[in-house]
A and B are shown apart, each in its own frame.
Chain A
């Protein structure tokens, strides 16, 4: 028996997937969720083998929800219309169902998943998430799990980012939050007109900089409006000078 969860904000959309799932005796539907918050909870609680996930949902979308899960289960995406997402699915060979879909199409997606599971060729959802997070609509905010709470931080509220082992500290006025992504990821996805990498371990929100001071021998620090001081390396100084038009 494989455990499955359906996550979609429209109850009718959930009911049709449920109908198709119930045709398969090898599948056990353990939860139905109406938004990403419920989804995160249900996945932690039930540890499903497979989820059917809608993309456009309240508060956090399907991709943002997946980012919050340490070891995401196999996913079959369901979506009505999202050109960018579909491109990402295709390039990562993850199966997806375009609404409306019938039992035959559903069964095919399921068979593909089972085949991949047997051959241990399951697709890495992390790669998919990396690629979708580069879409313009995905780089406007950062979604972070803070204990049991989920925090949505609009990128303009981020003061600076700091590398911390496998995590990145996202500093805001309310303190910092940890996100399990790399600095390289943020450097690629954050809007260029707002952020610059000042140092191997730091990315600064340039609108927050009040001044850049010399520091020790040939280093610099950027002083933010909040008074926080962020190290600036030699090459970072050049970059900052360029973006700030100094």
Chain B
């Protein structure tokens, strides 16, 4: 149930002001028609008090019973009911008070029709306003609920996206460690360390957290080192970080799936050695990261280019920036390029927002 418009101080002031204006207006009109000033004022106050009571009654009724859209016709009957009630009470009370006043009864009788139609119009305006007010409140509440639901769904989705990326990589790494234990125990120990650091990084970071490119690259390096142990000489990397970009920000853990995709794509699509290039640069208000991997356009299956990793990155970027143009892929000759743009001006607001 929405709170009454009377709960708002601004509305109360406005409501009373309008009421006073109507009283004064009626008193002036009555005076103009020849009633003595005190009679005009008292008549006006009495009749508009009834109007005020009817208004309050209507506002409260609407608070507890808001008719459906198709039943708005009921509201008209409310207005009619209250108008007639006011007219009867007004006629009776004013007659009792001013019955002795010369010519008043007759004047009252003549003016009753005008009084009734005016009250009808005023009450109609009031009811229209109140219905609109309650509707707007209802809509606001609905918006809020929708926003809440969306935010929760978004968080759950982000969490899920992150979870799905790990198992294949994790089990293969453990298998490599298993193999190293027998032949090269020192390397096995080193890889356990790298894997632990990498996993710690994954657990520690929130999907909504923002990090500097430098931090993200350190984390990525751990990942690359592990992959190099797994694939040996077949995998090498070239990283180029442009000037003044190390301190630029990006959503945590966004690069790893892109590089993972490039490695898979590169390694699984070619049987030779694979060089993965990672280039970071600045373009106006964007941090631009380009990842290049070799591929064979003849045999590359279409689903690899938009594999799960990239889809999840695309989805994350959309959830964060409401934009679908931030991740682009191009396959040209024997190089597949994945480019991700991270808006920087928005990021500072988001960081504050998230903290």
Contact = CB atoms under 8 A, between A and B. Distances in A.
B303 A12 contact: no
A35 B269 CA distance: 11
Contacts of A102: 178
Looking at chain B's contact residues, is the secondary structure mostly helix, strand, loop, or mixed? Answer: helix
A13 B234 CA distance: 14
Contacts of A100: 171, 174-175, 177-178
A31 interface: no
B231 A10 contact: yes
A137 to B, nearest CB: 7
Interface stretch (B59-67, B73-81, B179-187): B179-187
A58 B268 contact: yes
Name the residue among B168, B180, B229, B271 with the largest chain A CB count within 10 angstroms: B271
B182 A80 contact: no
B269 A140 contact: no
Interface string B292-309: 000000110111000000
Contacts of B136: none
Interface residues of A, number: 29
Given A10-B230, A11-B232, A16 B178 contact: yes
Contacts of B302: 140, 154, 156
B285 interface: no
B232 A81 contact: no
A59 interface: yes
Given A16-B178, A141-B301, A10 B172 contact: yes
Contact of A58 (B172, B182, B271, B303): B271
A57 B268 contact: yes
A152 B168 contact: no
A176 interface: no
B176 interface: yes
A12 B229 contact: yes
A89 interface: no
Contact of B230 (A12, A16, A98, A154): A12
B345 to A, nearest CB: 40
Given A58-B269, A58-B270, A154-B302, A80 B179 contact: no
Given A37-B271, A56-B268, A16 B175 contact: yes
A82 B267 CA distance: 18
Contacts of B299: 59, 152
Contacts of A11: 232
Contact of A15 (B179, B231, B269, B303): B179
Nearest to A11: B232
Interface string B319-344: 00000000000000000000000000
A58 B266 CA distance: 9
Nearest to A17: B179
Name the residue among B178, B230, B267 with the largest chain A CB count within 10 angstroms: B178
B103 interface: no
Contacts of A35: 271
Contacts of A13: 172, 175-176, 179
B38 interface: no
B148 to A, nearest CB: 33
Interface of B: 167-168, 170-172, 174-180, 182-183, 229-232, 267-271, 298-299, 301-303
